Structure 1
Amino acid sequence: MRLSTVSFRYSRRGPWVLRDVELTLRPGSVIEVTGRNGAGKSTLLRLLAGFVPPSRGSISDRPGVVGYAPDVFPVDQPFTVAAYLAHMARIRGISSTSAAGNLAERLNATHLLEQPLGDLSKGSAQKVGLIQSLLAPPDLLILDEPFAGLDEQTRTELPVIIEEIAARGGTVAVSDHQKQLQDFPGADHWLVVDGNVTTGTRASSPRDTSSEESSPQVVIEVIVDADDADEVEQKLRADGYLTRRSS
C-alpha cells in the first residue's frame, strides 16, 4: 500500500491537517504511530482505512479486508454487544458467530455479550470495537489508541493478536499514547508532527522535538472515588500524563 504526496484538510478553506505524506506499508509490518494530541494521527489512520479520501495526492493498493477500531467506540446504538457483533458480521458476509465468540473470549469480553452498548464503560466499549475490527481476518488492521481503558489481561493479549496478523502477512498500524508497542520486535515507527510524517525503526526512531525545550512540570492532585480510580488513571495515562497513587 502506498501514500503518494497525500495532503488532507476537512474543508476547502480549512487548515491542512496533513501535508505531502509519502509512505509505504509493507505486508507483515507493524507500525507504531506517535505524535502529540492534535498532530493528525487519527486523520492519518482514517485515511489509511479508507474512511476519508485525500484532499490531494493518492492512496494505492489498499488491501481487500480492512479492520478499523476508532479511539472512541460509538455506543449510542440500539444493540446488545452480541447483536451488534452479529450485525457487523452479516455486513461483512460472515455467517458464523464463532469468530465473535472466540475473540470475546481472547479479549476477556464474554461477560459483556448480553449488555446493551449504551451501558458499557470506556474500556468495555474499546473491547467491542476491537472485536468488530477482527471479525474478518484483516489484511490491514488500523487501531486508534486501542489500549486505552483495557484491563491487564486484554493489554497482554492484544499484542499477541497483532503479532499473529503480521505473521500471516497482514499489516497493522497502531496509534498508542501508552507505549504498549514501543518494544514490539521489528516494528516501524511513524512520527506525526505539524502535519508531517517521518519514519524510522525503534533503533533510529524519529523524535518529537517540538516540545523538547525543558518546560517546567507541576504536580496536580486529583481526588476521586476508589471505585473510579482505575478508569480515571487509565484515561490520564492515555492522554500522556504520569500518574501516582496515594491513599
Structure 2
Amino acid sequence: MSDSEDFSEISSTSEEGDRLRSLLSLCPRYVVVPPNPPDGIAFALTGNAQIWDHLTDLHSGISNCKPGIWKAEVKLVEGAEFGNCDTEACLRWVADLDEETELDFSISLDEWQGWDQMLKDRFDDSVVEWDEGIAWKHAGTYYDDGGLFNVISMAYLTREAAHMVIEGRDHEELEMDDDEYSGYLEHVTLNDSPIDEEDSLRNAGFTFGGLHFGQDSIGGPPGLAVAEKDGQVVAIKLFMDHDELDEGTPFDSQPGKVVF
C-alpha cells in the first residue's frame, strides 16, 4: 500500500473497532511536537513501555525541541556496508503549529490521513535549505534489551492522547484507566500491530508519533545526533554502527554521515 493510497481499506471496519491498530498501520510521517510537552520532554527515548515511568524515569528524552510539525524520514544509504550506518533515520522540524497544521487526535481516521497527506504534498518533495545556521552534535547512544528503540513525541504518549486515539472523542468525556493506558503504550512502543506483511514493510523504521530502530545485545546500540538552531533542537538523527561510539566522538568523525 502506498503512502497516498486511499485509507478506506484500513478504516472501513475501524471506526467501530480498533482505531489504534489502524493508526499504527497508517503510521503518519508527520509528527506534532507541542509547545509545553510533559516534564519538558519533547521526544521520549524508550524501548517497550507500559507505564509513565518507563518513558521518563528509566530512560532519557530530548528536550528543548522547537514546537511544530516534524517530518519523519527513513531510507537506506546507497553503497553503505550492511550494519555500518546503512540506514538513515531523521526527525526534523518543518512547520509551525497553526490552524492548518494543528492536529486534533479525536478526528476520524480518514481526516487524519488527509492531514498527513496535506503535509506530504507540502513538504515531501520540497528542497528545504536548512543547513545554514545548523550545528550537529553527538547526543550519545541508547540501549534497551527489548530489541527496539523508539524516538516518539510525548504528545502521543499522554493519557489524554491515548483516549482520543483509541476512542475518537475528547478525553474529558470518559476517563482512561491504567490498564487501557498500559495497553496503549505497549502497542505504540512495540509498533507490533501491522495489518499484513506489506504494511509491516511500508512502516519499517516508522512508529506512530516518531521513529524506531532495531537493536540487539550483539550489535552496538543506535547513536544519536541532534541539530540546533537559534538555541532549539530542530532535528534528531539516528544511526547504527557495529560498535558503540564513545560519547566524545566528534560528529565529523562518526561513520555514515546523515545529511537531509
TM-score, length basis structure 1: 0.25
Quick check: which has more Rg, 1 or 2? Answer: 1
Which has the larger helix fraction?
Answer: 1
Higher relative contact order (CA 8 A, sep 6+): 2
TM-score, length basis structure 2: 0.24
Which has the larger strand fraction?
Answer: 2
